[in-house]
Every structure is written in C-alpha cells, then in structure tokens.
Amino acid sequence: MIPRWMTGWLLGLLLAGGSVFAQDEVAFPPVDGELAACLQEAKLVWEPDADGDCRLLLEYESGRSQQVFVTSRTEELDGWKLREIWSVAGMGATLQEPVNMELLLRTNPDQLLGAWGYRQIGEQTAAVFVLKAPAACDPQQLRRLIALVGRSADEMEQSLGEGDQF
C-alpha cells in the first residue's frame, strides 16, 4: 500500500504531467483572479496545479481526506459561465470491472448536482465526480459545492474499496 502522503504527491505529479526527477522549478499558469479571490474569501486553503487550477485537500473528522480540484478555466452555455469542481474516487484497472462500472452508473440518477464519469489522468483511468458550477457563485456557495464534491467522491472511494488514496 502506498503511504497517504505519497499518494497525494503522486496524483499531483500525474495531473501536472511532471517527472519525479525534474530539477527545474515549473512555472504554473496563473489561477483565475476571481476564483482565487473567492477561495480566499471562503477561507479555503488551496494550491495551484500545473494547469492553473486550484487543488484543495479536505480533511474530515473521521481522519479521512479528499483532494478536490476547481478549474480556473470557464466554459459558456447560453450566457452562463461555468467551471468544474471535481474529485477522484478511484483509479486503475479495478474501475473496468463491471460491478464498479455499474455502481457508478446506478448512482448517477441519485445526484442532484454533479455526475460520475471517467477521466484519463496520465496513463490511468480515473472515476471522477464532476460538478459544473456557476463561475460567479459567492464564496459560501463555492465552499458548499466543494464540500459536496469532496464528500461524494470520498463516499464512492470507500464503496470502491480504494482505501483513502485520493
């Protein structure tokens, strides 16, 4: 089993597309100023990733934790500016097992906000919970949406038997 501190580091490395042996400091693209201000006002601790997105580590009273990402980039739909809030619940070959694929599909209709999907992260396939949120939501709304995504992903991570890796 990979130690918890190393799992977060490795996931961050995969997301960054970096190398364990890189010697030069990487310059990340800037995080969207409105998003950074909103996170700061919500009193959330975050760090930029290689895409200029925000990585947060939510820690729970149970001792578990969950990484959540908020994209800096926004998309438009009928005049609405939206950004993604997402979190990984599982990674690797076990996600291809029919029982796990069915679990994700059966859970989707119960979600009031957000949905389960698969994403390619480096060489790995990941099960992710993704919520498209208004880019202009206020700090407390953003805080609650981040908590919802983290909680959903952490619960699924437990259901998939992934331990507490993400």
Domains of the chain: 4-14+32-159 (3.30.1460.70)
Sequence length of the chain is: 166
First-to-last C-alpha distance (Å) of the chain: 13
pLDDT value of position 21: 40
Provide the b/e sequence for 83-112 (b: ≥16 CB within 10 Å). Answer: bbbbbbbbbeeebeeeebeebbeebeeeee
Tell which wins on pLDDT, 17 or 137.
Answer: 137
At position 7, the amino acid (one-letter code) is T
Over its C-alpha atoms, the chain yields an Rg (Å, rounded) of: 16
Kindly state the percentage of the chain with pLDDT values over 90: 52
Tell whether the model's pLDDT for residue 2 goes beyond 70: no
Highest mean pLDDT among 73-82, 97-106, 120-129, 142-151: 142-151
Tell whether the model's pLDDT for residue 70 goes beyond 90: yes
* Torsion-angle region of 62 (φ positive above 0: left; ψ -120 to 50: alpha; else: beta): alpha
Q: Name the pLDDT band for 94 (thresholds 50, 70, 90).
A: confident
DSSP per residue over 48-101, as a string? Answer: E-TTS-EEEEEE-TTS-EEEEEE-S--EEETTEEEEEEEEEEEESGGGGSHHHH
Tell whether the model's pLDDT for residue 115 goes beyond 80: yes
Helices 139-159 and 98-107, packing angle to 10 deg: 150
> What are the two backbone dihedrals, phi and then psi, of residue 51, each rounded to the nearest 5 degrees?
-90, 0
pLDDT value of position 65: 94
Tell whether the model's pLDDT for residue 98 goes beyond 60: yes
C-alpha dihedral sign at 13, 7, 46, 138: positive
- The pTM of this model reads 0.79
